[in-house]
Amino acid sequence: MPELPEVETVRRGLVSAMESATIVRAEVNRPDLRWPFPENMADRLTGQKVLQLRRRSKYILADLGSGETALIHLGMSGRMLVSGDPLGRFVHAHPAPQKHDHVVLHMDNGARVTFNDPRRFGAMDLFPTESGEAHRLLAALGPEPFGNRFDDAYLVSRLSERKTPMKAALLDQKTVAGLGNIYVCEALFRAGIHPARQARRLSRKRLASLVPIIREVLQDAIDAGGSSLRDFRQADGELGYFQHSFDVYGREGAPCRTPGCTATIRRIVQSGRSTFYCPACQR
């Protein structure tokens, strides 16, 4: 499932096509994806200006002129693809409709934004913008990793008494929003923390060190356009490239990249998910 860097990459790719543009026609080609679409979604989207595109955790949020916000969740295989040229530099023909084009937004700047999702694990919803933080998918989320609330004092207070393994603690979306399996593995490697180590067994200094490391890992991934594993594509259809920079994720049996380390990357299973780490560098 796309994590924060992939979702942020898609959001940025949609800005030129959607932000400050009006949806002149919305096509909704089926009644549901993971959950049923909201009632009259096509009519509620049609004619609305997109005031702002935001991201909260792994969700894209489009604030509309109607006072509603459209929530988009990519799920396992969802893609938001842009065709046409909203900047007016070239002439591009729109591709022919595809079987899994479930929602299509025709913008007044000539762009077409398509939500394509072969496995239908994605979702869309509409809700009043002013009450957005109370939405069932957003209400329990922890702070954003790049936000001011996510600081040393917060993370130490949140984790210092927990018996939970560090991998599970950071995957908890109530602790910090948007982190998933890939970037937790990478952050723990950079911090030199074993993924099975109980959070309460770490010093306050080591817990605090995770804040800048998490931000660094996420920013590196965003700069690389995210990680393309299986289905992820950017809004222009291109692949992300951060997977070529993984230090541990997916590298079981490969040599550790830390200079002077002679260990190889190992894999264990935690809560049904693969965890990758270096047994020498992570304690």
Q: What's the residue count for the chain?
A: 283
Catalytic annotation present for 11: no
Q: For the purposes of burial, counting CB atoms within 10 Å of the CB of 48, is it exposed (0-12), middle (13-18) or buried (19 or more)?
A: buried
What residues pair up with 126 in beta bridges, in sequence order?
70
Catalytic residue, from 44, 197, 267, 273: name it.
Answer: 273
Catalytic residue, from 56, 58, 158, 167: name it.
Answer: 58
b/e string for 10-37 if b means 16 or more Cβ within 10 A?
A: bbebbebbbbebbbeebbbeeeebeeeb
Distances in Å between the Cα of 263 and the Cα atoms of 192, 200, 233, 259 are 14, 27, 33, 11
Catalytic annotation present for 58: yes
Catalytic annotation present for 2: yes
Three-state SS at 208: helix
Q: What tokens does 107 get?
A: 């913008």
Q: Are 22 and 50 in contact (CB under 8 A)?
A: yes
> Catalytic site residues?
2-3, 58, 273
